[in-house]
């Protein structure tokens, strides 16, 4: 997503007098290799799977806690694949947000991005390890949970993480964590705040996008005082402000139109500022879907019309939309530590983030049937029929003749309408719609850690609150306010507004609160560990811990949204309110079985008690091992079971009418986009061809928890002092996965899913609304071509399973060349061997290299970086690569211009940085992303408002220059 989404990896050599980087978690205790001489290699994103944290200058090994385990041990001994990204690595990527940074990791793909807010307000930025879905990645701050995003059904918003105050990031690429939660099915991303910081520094960052639009600037100040070792306390504070300019679709050639004949798609909307009209002329002829501007090829820039049929026009809606919304991000972080004694340390931390976003998209479609009266002051005297229009047999010509067979109109012809005119309209004169999103995240933690009776312990109380408020911006209208003006004919639906009609239109705009939510989490945790006894091969480590958490979610909608009164809105959006209590108990043991073989056993018990009466529990075990046959190689592996409970929204979301995300055709009344002959003409009562159709979405209080099984098996190696690497095979299976039924699947096979389609009889609806067969009481599974679609039911269900497997490969080269500087290279990659899903009772579906219900999973991603450092200078060149995949296919559009199979090209970019440190307290970094100015590969997917490329997986900015200045006060 959204802010840059490109896969950037910056690898830079840097000088350090305070630390030496260690190799991967691999070697025996006798080979705890430390690079000496004061030159360390700062490896970028995902560069060191399970890298050891820094060692002290005298090569002594400190016992630390690494993400994935609660037992403090020498860092080089962990058996789980963990990637550690240090502060220096983060700064060299040019990333300014957690979303930007996480999207660079090869094993992360397809999370929510800022660009997804265009046309769908309240979408957080999310991580998505293993491309299994954001809900399976657990995001932590200092090893503790963060409140979930308060709108929709979402996990943690990455924008709530204050990246500017982060010291390092640890990515556990193995799931079902016994320590943090068995719901971490795909893995854990742990953001760790700066600690024991002294002094003050300021930094400024600015970008210049070569093609224009989407620039970013930020300013940060960080300070700290007190030394834990000498003063017995330390206080840190950090403040950051960032501003992102919007990038409009019209700013890029690859995204500026919805009509893409090269892709075989025309995504223009049939809902126009000047509708495709349904009317009867003075001779008694009936017309459906005739646009007054079709005769001249739909040329009307005011309404952005384009041709979409022989008699109709469509709105090229992307002329109005953003690719990336305008946004502002601010955060304030403080942390204090007080060392009471050598065995007791008290700490407290507080973080506050505030994000504002303005997302603009197309003018509102008036999705109700627009009925304009013959008495209206804008009623047209004539409507021009376009040359080439096919007139049916029995058509009465102006000269008094009647056609005996279908006849092609030889020239444009004016006809006189009579009676009411209907059609679907769009509020173009009112401007594009705008959502104003504001998110605030507050987090407070107090705790203590130390040593008691030989046990290392830590305990804490944490409070987190995520607040989201979305307001109506310009271009949003109410049916209740606008409908009377349309019905009375006071709004011009046939052309430009005059002063009076424009004032009436703008007077129907909405303002103020739209919808929002508050998500709170309160948690107590306690854990302790020690080496409990010795075996011949070494000490046995043991830990035990517990946690108790309460969660509360309140989602509120304005009356306009809850009733579905917003013009062109997503339908009814009711409020949701619920709470739950979660108790956890976990334990872990590390047992040296024989020399060089170590086993790890862990288990976690979770119990959920929901405030609405249901409860469930589960025991999740995990086993792991390390084996070191030599000092140059280590084998490692783990096997685990995971457990993920339904969210409060999964359980409680009321039934509500919404719209499909993509455009579809009614498979009965408009198969393959061709209207059928019917007693009730297709399109007269509602839009039915190539539009967002009505759905009914709902939660399910009877949902069962999801269960997972996963295992990893790998090797970590260092054949020489300059070469190291790792290779890990991983496999994840998720059963009873919770999802709303897929619109792509239901519309892709309407015969097999016929019972999801609900239709109504227009005659019953007109005579006795609410009766069986009416719009409010529709008929399930009907295939009667005379019955329009009421809605398609897409409830949340335990639909089946997800599965994924692949190989992570990391290779590192580091060479110190004396006075010639330091040279390095890193290759980091994820290769998927399988990936997909299965609905209950259906065969497995592979989305490996294929765009399916949940998007695509590219088979391969990598970053390849070269680095060089000498004296005051550092530099890097990085190649970012994502393999292409088979494009989205709409079964209804397959034809000569829309092939069944179409390939989305590989996404390949190069980035570079140059760093200069002219004096001890000043550093400058210059960088360029996407050196060759590569456009995103073209795609015909329909998952987003953006057209022509996939906004979730690529970056539309193009070549971007950036500079960062950092000044430290001495």
Whole-prediction pTM value?
A: 0.85
Please report the beta strands in 645-749, taking only residues with DSSP state E, as ranges in sequence order. Answer: 656-659, 694-698, 706-717, 723-740
Is 750 within the bounds of a domain? no
Residue 894 has pLDDT above 60, yes or no: yes
Q: What's the pLDDT score for residue 748?
A: 86
* Of the candidate ranges 35-44, 235-244, 745-754, the one whose mean pLDDT is the lowest: 35-44
Give the closest residue to 312 by CA, choosing from 332, 297, 291: 291
Residue 4 has pLDDT above 70, yes or no: no
What Rg do the C-alpha atoms of the chain give, in angstroms?
A: 30
**Is the Cβ–Cβ distance between 376 and 475 less than 8 Å?**
no
Average pLDDT for 1-24: 34
Token pair, residue 809, equals 């490969």
Q: Which domain does 560 fall in, by range?
A: 12-249+325-361+436-473+513-650+705-739+798-888+910-936+945-969
Residue 36 has pLDDT above 50, yes or no: no
How far CA 555 is from CA of 18, 126, 139, 150, in Å, comes to 49, 19, 22, 7
Given the structure tokens 């769009």, which residue do they identify? 426
Instruction: Domain count for the chain, please give it.
Output: 1
* Residue 819 φ then ψ, to 5°: -70, -10
Q: CA 257, CA 308: separation in Å to the nearest integer?
A: 13
How far CA 968 is from CA of 221, 224, 252, 336, 923, in Å, comes to 10, 12, 39, 21, 9
Q: What's the pLDDT score for residue 56?
A: 30
Is 724 within the bounds of a domain? yes
Give the closest residue to 36 by CA, choosing from 53, 22, 46: 22
Q: In what order do the strands lie in the sheet with 277-281?
A: 286-290, 277-281, 417-426, 365-372
Here the CATH number for the domain that contains residue 558 is 2.40.170.20
Report angle CA 487, 493, 494 to the nearest 5 degrees. Answer: 135
Is 282 within the bounds of a domain? no
Give the closest residue to 9 by CA, choosing from 45, 41, 51: 45
Q: What's the pLDDT score for residue 666?
A: 95
Is 371 within the bounds of a domain? no
Q: CA 489, CA 501: separation in Å to the nearest integer?
A: 9
What's the pLDDT band for 15 if we cut at 50, 70, 90?
Answer: very low
Residue 362 has pLDDT above 80, yes or no: yes
Average pLDDT for 771-789: 94
Report how far apart the first and last C-alpha atoms of the chain are (Å, whole number): 39
Which tens digits make up the pLDDT trace of 111-144? 999 999 998 888 999 999 999 999 999 999 999 9
Report angle CA 444, 171, 835 to the nearest 5 degrees. Answer: 125
Q: What's the pLDDT score for residue 13?
A: 30
Average pLDDT for 734-762: 91
Is 829 within the bounds of a domain? yes
Token pair, residue 627, equals 């084996």
What's the pLDDT band for 743 if we cut at 50, 70, 90?
Answer: confident
Average pLDDT for 852-869: 93
Residue 32 has pLDDT above 70, yes or no: no
Burial zone of 534 (CB within 10 Å; 0-12 exposed, 13-18 middle, 19+ buried) = exposed
Residue 75 has pLDDT above 90, yes or no: no
Token pair, residue 15, equals 């000088």
Q: What's the pLDDT score for residue 907?
A: 96
Give the closest residue to 694 by CA, choosing from 571, 832, 574, 850: 571
Average pLDDT for 29-54: 28
CB proximity list for 899: less than 8 A, separation 6 or greater: 264
**Is the Cβ–Cβ distance between 620 and 587 less than 8 Å?**
no
Residue 680 has pLDDT above 80, yes or no: yes
* Percent helix, percent strand, percent coil in the chain, to nearest 5: 10, 50, 40
Which tens digits make up the pLDDT trace of 464-495? 999 999 999 999 999 999 999 999 999 999 99
DSSP 597-624: EEEEEEEEEEEEEETTS-EEEEEEEEEE
Token pair, residue 207, equals 């970008």
Give the closest residue to 117 by CA, choosing from 306, 432, 359, 402: 359
Burial zone of 877 (CB within 10 Å; 0-12 exposed, 13-18 middle, 19+ buried) = middle
Q: CA 490, CA 479: separation in Å to the nearest integer?
A: 15
Residue 851 has pLDDT above 80, yes or no: yes
Q: What's the pLDDT score for residue 66?
A: 54
**Is the Cβ–Cβ distance between 863 and 857 less than 8 Å?**
no
In three-state secondary structure terms, 847 is coil
In this structure, is the dihedral angle defined by the CA atoms of residues 43, 45, 51 and 52, taken in order, positive or negative? positive
Which tens digits make up the pLDDT trace of 276-313? 999 999 999 999 999 999 999 999 999 999 999 889 99
Q: CA 122, CA 469: separation in Å to the nearest integer?
A: 9
Q: What is the DSSP-derived secondary structure letter of residue 101?
A: H
**Is the Cβ–Cβ distance between 357 and 325 less than 8 Å?**
yes
Average pLDDT for 842-861: 93
Residue 582 has pLDDT above 90, yes or no: yes
Distance of CA 188 to the CA centre of its chain: 17
Report angle CA 291, 295, 300 to the nearest 5 degrees. Answer: 70
CB proximity list for 399: less than 8 A, separation 6 or greater: none
Token pair, residue 496, equals 């430009």
Which CB contacts under 8 angstroms, 24+ apart, belong to 524-527? Answer: 524/459, 524/460, 524/461, 524/548, 524/549, 525/144, 525/458, 525/459, 525/460, 525/462, 526/457, 526/458, 526/459, 527/70, 527/179, 527/457, 527/458, 527/459, 527/586
Is 688 within the bounds of a domain? no
Length of the chain: 970
Q: CA 896, CA 339: separation in Å to the nearest integer?
A: 73
Average pLDDT for 82-89: 82
Q: CA 750, CA 277: separation in Å to the nearest integer?
A: 29
Q: What's the pLDDT score for residue 692?
A: 85
Is 377 within the bounds of a domain? no
Residue 69 has pLDDT above 80, yes or no: no
Which tens digits make up the pLDDT trace of 600-639? 999 999 999 999 989 999 999 999 999 999 989 999 999 9
Distance of CA 665 to the CA centre of its chain: 27
Q: CA 713, CA 715: separation in Å to the nearest integer?
A: 7
Is 111 within the bounds of a domain? yes
Residue 792 has pLDDT above 50, yes or no: yes
Q: CA 821, CA 352: separation in Å to the nearest integer?
A: 42
Are β-strands 694-698 and 789-816 bridged in parallel, bridged antiparallel, or unpaired?
Answer: parallel
Are β-strands 82-86 and 166-172 bridged in parallel, bridged antiparallel, or unpaired?
Answer: antiparallel
Give the closest residue to 867 by CA, choosing from 931, 913, 929: 913
10 Å Cβ neighbour count for 578? 20
In three-state secondary structure terms, 114 is helix
* Of the candidate ranges 96-100, 184-188, 546-550, the one whose mean pLDDT is the lowest: 96-100
Burial zone of 218 (CB within 10 Å; 0-12 exposed, 13-18 middle, 19+ buried) = buried
Q: Which residue has the higher pLDDT, 820 or 655?
A: 820
């Amino acid at each position: 997503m959204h802010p840059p989404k490109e896969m950037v990896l910056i690898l830079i050599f840097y000088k350090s007098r305070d630390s030496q980087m260690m190799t991967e978690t691999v070697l025996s205790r006798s080979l705890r290799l430390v690079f000496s001489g004061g030159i360390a290699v700062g490896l970028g994103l995902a560069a060191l799977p399970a890298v050891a944290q820094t060692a002290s200058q005298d090569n002594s090994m400190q016992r630390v806690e690494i993400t994935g385990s609660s037992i403090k041990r020498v860092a080089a001994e962990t058996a789980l694949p963990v990637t550690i990204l240090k502060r220096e690595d983060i700064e060299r990527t040019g990333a300014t947000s957690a979303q930007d940074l996480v999207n660079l990791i090869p094993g992360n793909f397809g999370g929510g991005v800022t660009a997804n807010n265009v046309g769908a307000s309240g979408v957080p930025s999310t991580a998505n390890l293993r491309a299994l879905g954001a809900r399976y990645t657990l995001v932590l701050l200092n090893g503790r949970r963060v409140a979930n995003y308060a709108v929709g059904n979402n996990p943690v918003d990455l924008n709530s993480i204050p990246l500017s105050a982060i010291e390092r990031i640890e990515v556990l690429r193995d799931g079902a964590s016994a320590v943090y939660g068995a719901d971490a099915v795909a893995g854990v991303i742990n953001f760790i705040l700066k600690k024991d910081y002294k002094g003050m520094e300021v930094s400024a960052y600015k970008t210049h996008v070569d093609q224009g639009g989407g620039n970013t600037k930020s300013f940060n100040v960080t300070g700290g005082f007190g030394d834990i070792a000498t003063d017995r306390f330390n206080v840190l504070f950090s403040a950051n402000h960032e501003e992102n300019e919007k990038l409009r679709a019209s700013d890029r050639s690859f995204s500026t139109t919805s009509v893409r004949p090269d892709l075989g798609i025309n995504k223009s909307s049939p809902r126009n500022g000047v509708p495709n009209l349904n009317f009867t002329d003075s001779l008694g002829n009936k017309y459906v879907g005739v646009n007054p501007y079709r005769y001249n090829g739909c040329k009307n820039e005011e309404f952005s019309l384009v041709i979409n049929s022989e008699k109709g026009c469509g709105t090229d809606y992307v002329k109005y939309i953003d690719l990336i919304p305008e946004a502002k991000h601010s955060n304030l972080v403080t942390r204090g530590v007080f060392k009471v004694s050598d065995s007791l340390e008290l700490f407290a931390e507080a973080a506050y983030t505030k994000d504002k976003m303005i997302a603009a998209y197309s003018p509102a479609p008036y999705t109700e049937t627009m009925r304009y009266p013959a008495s209206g002051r804008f009623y047209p005297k004539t409507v021009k029929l376009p040359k080439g229009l096919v007139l049916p047999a029995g058509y009465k010509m102006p000269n008094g003749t009647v056609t005996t067979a279908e006849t092609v109109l030889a020239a444009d012809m004016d006809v006189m309408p009579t009676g009411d005119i209907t059609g679907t309209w769009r509020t173009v004169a009112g401007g594009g719609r705008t959502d104003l999103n504001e998110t605030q995240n507050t987090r407070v933690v107090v705790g203590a850690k130390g040593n008691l009776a030989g046990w290392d312990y830590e305990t804490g109380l944490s409070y987190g609150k995520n607040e989201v408020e979305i307001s109506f911006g310009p271009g949003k209208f109410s049916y209740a306010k606008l409908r009377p003006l349309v019905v009375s004919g006071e709004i011009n639906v046939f052309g430009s507004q005059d002063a009076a009609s424009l004032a009436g239109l703008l007077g129907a705009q909405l303002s103020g609160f739209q919808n929002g939510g508050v998500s709170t989490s309160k948690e107590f945790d306690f854990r302790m560990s020690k080496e409990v006894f010795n075996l011949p091969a070494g000490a046995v480590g043991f830990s035990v811990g517990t946690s108790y958490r309460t969660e509360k979610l309140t989602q509120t909608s304005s009356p306009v949204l809850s009733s579905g009164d917003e013009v062109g809105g997503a339908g009814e959006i009711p409020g949701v309110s619920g709470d739950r209590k979660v108790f956890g108990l976990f334990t872990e043991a590390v047992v040296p079985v024989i020399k060089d073989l170590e086993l790890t056993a862990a288990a976690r018990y979770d119990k959920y008690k929901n405030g609405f009466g249901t409860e469930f529990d589960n025991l999740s075990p995990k086993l792991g091992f390390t084996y070191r046959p030599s000092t140059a190689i280590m084998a490692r592996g783990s096997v685990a079971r995971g457990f993920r409970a339904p969210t409060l929204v999964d359980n409680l979301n009321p039934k509500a009418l919404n719209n499909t995300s993509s455009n579809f055709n009614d498979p009965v009344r408009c198969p393959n986009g061709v209207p059928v002959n019917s007693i009730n003409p297709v399109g007269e009562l509602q839009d039915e061809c190539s539009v967002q159709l009505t759905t009914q979405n709902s939660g399910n209080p009877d949902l069962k928890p999801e269960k997972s099984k996963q295992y990893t098996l790998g090797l970590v190696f260092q054949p020489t002092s300059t070469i190291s690497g790792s290779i890990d095979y991983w496999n994840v299976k998720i059963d009873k996965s919770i999802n709303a039924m897929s619109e792509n699947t239901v519309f892709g096979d309407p015969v097999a899913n016929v019972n999801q389609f609900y239709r109504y009889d227009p005659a019953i609806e007109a005579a006795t609304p609410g009766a069986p067969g009416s719009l409010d009481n529709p008929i399930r599974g009907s295939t009667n071509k005379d019955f329009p679609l009421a809605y398609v039911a897409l409830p949340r269900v335990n639909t089946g399973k997800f599965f994924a497997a692949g190989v992570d490969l990391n290779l590192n080269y580091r060479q110190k060349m004396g006075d010639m500087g330091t040279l390095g290279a890193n290759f980091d990659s994820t290769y998927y061997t399988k990936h997909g899903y299965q609905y209950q009772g259906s065969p497995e579906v592979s989305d490996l290299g294929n765009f399916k219900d949940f998007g695509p999973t590219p088979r391969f991603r990598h970053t390849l970086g070269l680095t060089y450092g000498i004296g005051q200078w550092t530099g890097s060149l990085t190649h970012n690569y994502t393999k292409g995949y088979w494009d989205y296919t709409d079964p209804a559009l397959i034809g000569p211009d829309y092939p069944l199979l179409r390939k989305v090209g590989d996404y390949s970019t190069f980035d570079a940085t140059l760093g200069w440190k002219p004096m001890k307290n000043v550093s400058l970094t210059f960088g360029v992303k996407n050196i060759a100015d590569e456009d995103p590969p073209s795609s015909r997917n329909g998952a987003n408002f953006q057209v022509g490329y996939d906004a979730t997986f690529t970056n539309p900015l193009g070549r971007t220059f950036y500079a960062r200045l950092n000044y430290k006060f001495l």
